[in-house]
Amino acid sequence: MFSIALIATLVVLVILTFYKGRGIMYSIIIAFYPTAVIYASIPAAYLTKITAVKDTSFHIYLSLAFVFLVIFALVFLVTRRLSHYEGARGGIAGFVDALLLSASVILLVMTITFHVLPARDIYSLTADIRAFFTSDLGHLVCVLAPIVVLLTMTRRG
């Protein structure tokens, strides 16, 4: 189920980047970092008061993810206002840009899911891939991947 959701998210992000331009993906990538820091700095006692869900672990995850998304939306709006607009490039170069940016966002979302939000069993991944995302090296690679992609995109642009 979640593998299909990841693939659908990747396709939506590629289409969004290809048609709206790289500027929106820059804002999305940049917004994840302060959002993760802000979310991680909220004490657990406040999060349980905010969510107030005692049903199942999935409902708890959804309520915590909703809090994360609210913070993300606010940070995204700020970064969108601060970033400049870049139109989409056409052809193969535009598609490669969209694919790289979207894949780096997917990696960032997955590492945040494994390390910031309390959801290790939400994805149906193989044991090797799950071990990569839960490891410190995997976390570092997934956090640095969007920054490297942004660096290469802005240098070429």
The pair of structure tokens assigned to 40 is 């991680």
Query: Rounded to an integer, what distance in angstroms lies between the CA atom of residue 135 and that of residue 18?
Result: 32
Q: Which domain holds residue 50?
A: 2-156
Q: How confident is the model at residue 28 (pLDDT cuts 50, 70, 90)?
A: confident
Question: Which pLDDT does position 157 carry in this prediction?
Answer: 44
Per-residue pLDDT tens digits for 58-67: 777 777 888 8
Q: Which residue has the higher pLDDT, 145 or 46?
A: 145
Alpha helices in 53-90 (DSSP H): 57-82
Q: What is the pTM of this model?
A: 0.57
CB 113 within 8 A of CB 72: no
Q: Tell me which residue has tokens 């905010």.
A: 50
Closest CA to 47 of 63, 70, 36, 33: 63
Question: Which pLDDT does position 115 carry in this prediction?
Answer: 76
Output the CA torsion sign for 88, 14, 152, 116.
Answer: positive
Per-residue pLDDT tens digits for 56-110: 677 777 778 888 888 888 888 877 766 665 555 677 877 888 888 888 888 888 8
The alpha-carbon radius of gyration of the chain (Å, integer) is 16
CB 78 within 8 A of CB 33: no
- Looking at the structure of the chain, the number of domains it has is 1
